[in-house]
A and B are shown apart, each in its own frame.
Chain A
C-alpha cells in the first residue's frame, strides 16, 4: 500500500488532500466533519482584522454552469472572507487543532497592506496552534475593491512586502495564495519567493460571469437585477491551474519552491496530475461543495491504488515527475510525425471526424460509400481534432510514422534525430550548427 502521508513545508498530514480556504472550512462544525470523513488538512476560511466582520450579500452568492445532466462543471462565487468574528474563528480553530493534532490546520489571512495589521493578527493565529498561514492574495471580488485579495496578488511588490512582514512576525510557515487573474503567474510567485515565502498555492478563482438572465438581462448570480464578476472554480478551471502550477514548477527562479495545487481537483486522477506537475499537495473545494466530504474516500483510495500500480511508494515520488516534460514550444520535436488512424471495428460511422476535418481543418478524412471514414495520410497534419471530437474512446489514434518512412504529406523521409524550431531553416534566429 502506497504511503499517502504528506509533509508540506514541514506540515504533516495523513494524506495530501487539504480543503481549500472557502465555505467548507468556515467553522468548527464543518471542519470536524471534514476530518471525520478523512481529509488530511484544512485551510480555514480567510480571517480578516478584528472588529466588525465583513458582510455578505443576502441574495444568491453562487452561480454555475452544468452539463446536460446537471453535472456541475464550473462554479462561481461572490462570497467574501469569513463573516464571523475573528475571536470566534480563533477559538474554534484552537479547539479543532487540539482534537485533531495529526491533521494540518492552516489559517488563511487577509488584512490591509499595512505592517501593523499583519503584526497584530499573526500572534493571535499562532496562539491557536495552527500549523501555518496562507496569505489570501487571490480573492477576486469585493475584497479586491478594498485593496486586498487579488488587488495585492496583482501587484508583485505588495506580495513581497506582506510576505516579508509575515516571515518577520511569525515562526509559522507562510504560503502565498496566488490569483490567476494576471498575465504571467511567475511574477507574483517570484515576488513571494523574494519575500521569503515557504510556498505558494494556486490558483485562486478566476474572474467570471457564469451566465446572463435573458429575461432580465442581468448577469448571474444576480442580486436584485444586478450582478458582479465572481470567482470561477471547479472542473472547468483545472487546465488553467495545471498550466500555472507547471509554469512555477519549471521557472528558473522559482523551481523548487513548494506549491500547493488548487483548481478543479475532483478525483484522484486530478490530484495525481497536479502532483506530477510539481504540486506538493492539493487543495479541494468545489468537489466537496458538490458532493460532500465523502469524496475524500475515492480520492485517497484512488491515489493509493494508482501509486501501487505505478510502483510509487510515497507522495514525494510522484511530485514533479512530469515537470521535466513541460517545455517551450520551440523545443518540441518537429521530426515527430504522426497520422490519425481510424479503427474500423470501433467506428460507429457518426461522421463527426469527417465534418470537423472537412469543414474546419485539413480535408484529410475521406467519406466513402457506406459511411466508411478513412484518413488520407497525404493531407493529415496530425492535428488531433478528429481524436478529440470522436465519441468513441480509442477509435481514432495517432500513429507514429517510423523514422526512415515517407511522410506522404510532405513527401519527405521522417528523420530519426530530434529537430526543433531552434535549428529549423525557416527560423531566422536559428542557431548555426555546431
Chain B
C-alpha cells in the first residue's frame, strides 16, 4: 500500500486489503436462527396485512414470517419465491422502509417495524445456499418466447414462462446475466457473489437458454425475434445516461457513476481501483449514493453528493442517505453544476421560482479530482415500432406493448417505480399474460 486517503489525484490502493475486504463485505450479516425466530415473533399476522399491499410483488409476508417462526424457513422461502423469484436480491436492495416495512403496523405501535427484509433474506438465502430449487416445470407447451434483457424483469419473466412449460431464450448484451443486480448495485449490498448465485439457482428451473452478447440493434431485431418466437418480452432497462451539459464535462476525470459502479462490482481486487482524493457525485438517486459511499469505502478522503433540488426531492431513500452520511459522505442540496475544471466543480445555489428551479446568483467551488455523474438513465435502443411515453415503453396492466405479440416490463416500461421488485412483478405478470395468450 503506497497511497493513503490523503494522496492527491486519482490513485489506487488508498486502503489496505483487509480494510477493503471489510468495507465491501455484507452491509448487514444474515440473521442467525435464533435472531430470526425472535424477529419473526414480532409479526402480528395482521388481517389483510398492509405489508402485502405495499409489496409490488404482493408476497404473503405474514405467512412467510409465521413459517420462519414455526421453524420452517425453507417453507417461508417457497412462499416468497412463488411471488418473487428474485426474493434473495430484493431482500437486499428493496427500499423496505418505503415498502413493506414502511407499512408495518409496528411503526404505529413503536416506530420500529418487523425486520421483513432481513427475515426474507434469512429464508431465501437458506434455500439458495442449499442450492434447492423448489419449483418444477409444467409439461412442454411447444411454444417459444424470446426474452430480451437478463435483468430482474427478464429473469422473472423467463422463470415464470419456463415454469409454465414454454421454451425461453434469454438474451443479454453483457457477458453475464443479472442486469442491474450484477452490474448496477453497490458491492456491499450483493456481497459474496449472491447475484450470480441467484441467477444460477433460478436457471435450474430448466427450459431457459441464455445467450449473452446479443442486443436489439446488435444482432437482434424485433421483427426477427417475432418471426422466430411465439412471443417477445422486452426487459431492456435504461441503457443511456443523461448529460450535464456544462463546460468541462468532457474532462477524463468526469465519469458516469453507473460505469464506476459496474467496474467496481466486476473487479475482485478492490485495491487495484483508482479513486480520487476529493470526489464529487452529482445527482440525488440511489446511483449517486452507491457511487459516493463506495468512493469513501475505496479510501477517498472527501466525498460529496450534490443535488440541485432540496433533500425531500431526492429519489434516494432517507435510509440510503443516512447510510451515506454515516459513511462520511457530505450531502449538499440546492446546488447545480455550472462548470467543471481540473481544480474542481463550480456550483450555483438554486431555489424554487415561479418558472421552476432558478439560480440565486451565488456560487461555490468544491475541490474535485474525480467527478461522477448520476443524474438519471434513459431508454436506449428500443425498437421504433413501440409506442413510448415520457422516455418509457408504454405497457398496459398486463405488460402488453403497442405491438401485438410484444410485452415489456422493468425500468424500460411505464408503470411503477424503477425498482428491482417492480421489475420482478412486471416480468412475472407479463409472463402470465403471455401464457394466457399462447395457451388460451
The B72-120 residues at the A interface (CB cut-off 8 A) are: 105-106, 108-109
Chain B binder among A67-75, A254-262, A304-312: A67-75
The reply to whether A349 and B69 form a contact with Cβ atoms under 8 Å apart is: no
The reply to whether B41 and A351 form a contact with Cβ atoms under 8 Å apart is: no
Contacts A349-B50, A350-B44, A354-B47: A68 and B108 contacting too (C-beta < 8 A)? no
Q: Which of A69, A70, A354, A391 contacts B44 (CB 8 A)?
A: A391
A337 contacts chain B at the CB level, 8 A cutoff: no
The reply to whether A349 and B108 form a contact with Cβ atoms under 8 Å apart is: yes
The reply to whether A349 and B41 form a contact with Cβ atoms under 8 Å apart is: no
A224 to chain B, nearest CB (A): 25
A392 contacts chain B at the CB level, 8 A cutoff: yes
The reply to whether B44 and A352 form a contact with Cβ atoms under 8 Å apart is: yes
The reply to whether B109 and A69 form a contact with Cβ atoms under 8 Å apart is: no
The B27-64 residues at the A interface (CB cut-off 8 A) are: 34, 37-38, 40-41, 44-50
A359 to chain B, nearest CB (A): 9
11 examples of A-B residue contacts, CB within 8 angstroms: A67-B41, A68-B41, A69-B37, A348-B108, A349-B108, A350-B44, A350-B47, A351-B47, A351-B49, A371-B48, A391-B109
Q: Which of B41, B48, B49, B105 contacts A348 (CB 8 A)?
A: B105
Name, among A351, A355, A367, A392, the residue most crowded by chain B CB atoms within 10 Å (CB to CB).
A351
A348 to chain B, nearest CB (A): 4
Contacts A350-B46, A355-B47: A68 and B109 contacting too (C-beta < 8 A)? no
Across the interface, name the chain A residue whose C-beta is closest to B36.
A68
11 further interface pairs, Cβ-Cβ under 8 Å (given A351-B48, A371-B48): A68-B38, A69-B37, A69-B38, A348-B105, A349-B46, A350-B46, A350-B47, A350-B105, A351-B46, A354-B47, A355-B47
| Per-residue B-contact encoding for A63-98, CB less than 8 Å = 1, 0 else | 000011110000000000000000000000000000
User: In the complex, which range does the number of interface residues on chain B fall in?
Assistant: 10 to 19
The reply to whether A367 and B47 form a contact with Cβ atoms under 8 Å apart is: yes
Across the interface, name the chain A residue whose C-beta is closest to B44.
A350
Across the interface, name the chain B residue whose C-beta is closest to A356.
B47
A345 to chain B, nearest CB (A): 10
Contacts of B105 in A (CB 8 A): 348-350
Contacts of A392 in B (CB 8 A): 109
Across the interface, name the chain A residue whose C-beta is closest to B46.
A350
B64 to chain A, nearest CB (A): 16
Name, among A68, A367, A392, the residue most crowded by chain B CB atoms within 10 Å (CB to CB).
A68
Q: Which of B48, B49, B69 contacts A68 (CB 8 A)?
A: B69
Across the interface, name the chain B residue whose C-beta is closest to A395.
B109
**Residues of B bordering A, CB below 8 Å:** 34, 37-38, 40-41, 44-50, 69, 105-106, 108-109
The reply to whether B40 and A68 form a contact with Cβ atoms under 8 Å apart is: yes
Count residues on chain A whose CB falls below 8 Å from chain B CBs.
15
Q: Which of B34, B38, B45, B106 contacts A352 (CB 8 A)?
A: B45
Q: How far is the CA of A208 from the CA of B69 in the complex (A)?
A: 24
Q: How far is the CA of A253 from the CA of B45 in the complex (A)?
A: 48
B301 to chain A, nearest CB (A): 44
Contacts of A350 in B (CB 8 A): 44, 46-47, 105
Contacts of A352 in B (CB 8 A): 44-47
Q: How far is the CA of A351 from the CA of B41 in the complex (A)?
A: 17
B335 to chain A, nearest CB (A): 40
Contacts of B106 in A (CB 8 A): 348
Across the interface, name the chain B residue whose C-beta is closest to A391.
B44
The A12-71 residues at the B interface (CB cut-off 8 A) are: 67-70
B76 to chain A, nearest CB (A): 15
A291 to chain B, nearest CB (A): 19
Contacts of A70 in B (CB 8 A): 34
Contacts of B69 in A (CB 8 A): 68
B47 to chain A, nearest CB (A): 3
Q: How far is the CA of A21 from the CA of B247 in the complex (A)?
A: 88
Q: How far is the CA of A391 from the CA of B105 in the complex (A)?
A: 10
B52 to chain A, nearest CB (A): 12
The A306-362 residues at the B interface (CB cut-off 8 A) are: 348-352, 354-355
The reply to whether A348 and B109 form a contact with Cβ atoms under 8 Å apart is: yes
Name, among B38, B41, B50, B109, the residue most crowded by chain A CB atoms within 10 Å (CB to CB).
B109
Q: How far is the CA of A354 from the CA of B45 in the complex (A)?
A: 12
Q: How far is the CA of A68 from the CA of B31 in the complex (A)?
A: 15
Contacts of A69 in B (CB 8 A): 37-38, 41
Q: How far is the CA of A367 from the CA of B38 in the complex (A)?
A: 30
Q: How far is the CA of A67 from the CA of B40 in the complex (A)?
A: 12
Across the interface, name the chain B residue whose C-beta is closest to A351.
B47
Across the interface, name the chain A residue whose C-beta is closest to B43.
A350
A318 to chain B, nearest CB (A): 35
Contacts of A391 in B (CB 8 A): 44, 109
Nearest 9 Cβ contacts at the A-B interface = A351-B47, A68-B41, A348-B108, A355-B47, A348-B105, A350-B46, A348-B109, A350-B105, A350-B44
Q: How far is the CA of A352 from the CA of B44 in the complex (A)?
A: 8
Q: How far is the CA of A352 from the CA of B38 in the complex (A)?
A: 20
B182 to chain A, nearest CB (A): 37
A234 to chain B, nearest CB (A): 19
Q: How far is the CA of A432 from the CA of B106 in the complex (A)?
A: 55
A390 to chain B, nearest CB (A): 10
The reply to whether A68 and B37 form a contact with Cβ atoms under 8 Å apart is: yes
A308 to chain B, nearest CB (A): 31
B31 to chain A, nearest CB (A): 13
Contacts of A351 in B (CB 8 A): 46-49
Contacts of B49 in A (CB 8 A): 351
Contacts of B44 in A (CB 8 A): 350, 352, 391
B216 to chain A, nearest CB (A): 45
